[in-house]
Amino acid sequence: MQKSLARSLALVAAAALTLTGCSAGSQSDSSDGETVLTMSAWADDPMAAALIEQFEKDNPGVTIDYTGLPWPNILTQISTEMTSGTASDIVVAFSGRGNALGVQNLAKGNYIEDLSDSSWTDAFTGATRSVMGVDDKVLFGSNALTMVPAIYNVQALEAVGATAPTTFDEVLDLCAAAKSQGKVAYALAALAGGNFTSLTMAMATTLVYGADPEFTEQQEAGDATFSDSDWTEVFDKLGEMNDAGCFTADATGVSLDIAQGQMAKGEAVGIVDVTPAIANIATLAPEGSTFETAPFPATNDPADTKLPVGFGAGYAVNAKSKNIDLAKKFVDFYMSQEGLNIALASGSIYPSIPVDGYTAPDALAGIADLAHGDSAQPLFDATWPNASVGQAYSDGIQGFLTGQFSSDEILQRMDAAFTG
């Protein structure tokens, strides 16, 4: 899984309450008139605790036995239980096929139930729905979206006399304006776990996958490659920005906390990162600092610009559950207006379905409407066939920034990983 996505999922799921439960793999059972529904998901998740508490109140005689699992053990443990037939009734799952619990991987073994009859699935269409299952079936629900925009320090923007760019030429103008004031336009951390893949994700979402949403399918059919595509333009623009001094100096030696701190303090005007990072950036900023977001432009036509949007981890129903209908009922509750409001009150999420009365934080105002619209484009690495592609991608960007790899070499490595 791409590091930025893994980091966003951890930020969406992690919190402070430790949940304990039975050992994973137990099946639901009934005794003394009480139904036990088993569930395996994130450790330390207060949102799940709040949802379970309310569901049990609404369904007398039902108890949910919760097993909390840490990252990354959660991937191997649940996938092993799925193949052995001992998984819980409700399990954590991810969109696409970027890891072992990606719903498109689980679908191959018929391990999870079709949820398409649930009314909440109508809220998802097009490209977004396509990564929630296979053949237009919805196989999991996720209540949270993670976006990858440009995040700007409003005071730093004002200091350099700029506004958030809407074209790539304006991006380069911002780089020049920031440099003239002793700042950099975009904080960049290119050590492992940094945001260095987020910028190219934003550009490729517009240049490649927004322009051709079926690009990955064409690759699988042998009709397209990374090397012979607009991925070359992604690296051309990355090189152009690097040459223009748009980034943190010596970014390959900079960690994420340092880059976020630079942006928080106004030493950098902005950063391209996942939206959950805003909360951490705010803690590093001087009192009175404010932030705004905008899609990162990769062309000079604002109408081209797409916003990378990914689902946080969600829930799927084990096809071998003894209580499939009840398990589905929990997922329906989780995705309902009531469930979403409980999640908003107990966790820092941006809801995947519009919630009555919900107003996005001011920092997200620039992208909130786009997240549910036609400009939203799924995170493309969720559709890559194996983790090796993501590794070649992230290693390649680091090598490109140091001059070790050319764009041709990187894309050839990605092609080899995709077919291998």
Q: Domains of the chain: which residue ranges? A: 3-144+312-353, 147-309+376-419
Q: What is the average pLDDT value for the chain, to the nearest integer?
A: 91
Do 3-144+312-353 and 147-309+376-419 show the same overall fold? Answer: yes
The superfamily in CATH containing domain 147-309+376-419 is Periplasmic binding protein-like II (3.40.190.10)
How far is 385 from 105, CA to CA, in rounded Å?
9
**pLDDT of 386:** 85
Q: What pLDDT sits at residue 16?
A: 26
Q: In the numeric block, which tokens belong to residue 317?
A: 């129903």
Asked whether residue 17 carries a pLDDT value surpassing 70, the answer given is no
Tell me the pLDDT tens digit for each residue of 174-221.
Answer: 999 999 999 999 999 999 889 999 999 999 999 999 999 999 999 999
The Cα-based distances of 85 to 81, 114, 322 in angstroms read 6, 17, 12
CATH number of 3-144+312-353: 3.40.190.10
pLDDT value for 8: 39
Give the mean pLDDT of 274-297.
95
Q: How buried is 249 (Cβ within 10 angstroms: 0-12 exposed, 13-18 middle, 19+ buried)?
A: exposed
Name the band, by pLDDT with cuts 50, 70 and 90, for residue 32.
low
- Letter string b/e over residues 323-350, b meaning 16 or more CB atoms within 10 A of that residue's CB: beebbbbbbbbbbbeebbebbbebbbbb
Segment 89-144, tens digit of pLDDT: 999 999 998 889 999 999 999 999 999 999 999 999 887 898 999 999 999 999 99
User: Does residue 343 register a pLDDT over 80?
Assistant: yes
pTM (2 d.p.): 0.83
Percentage of residues in the chain having pLDDT higher than 90: 83
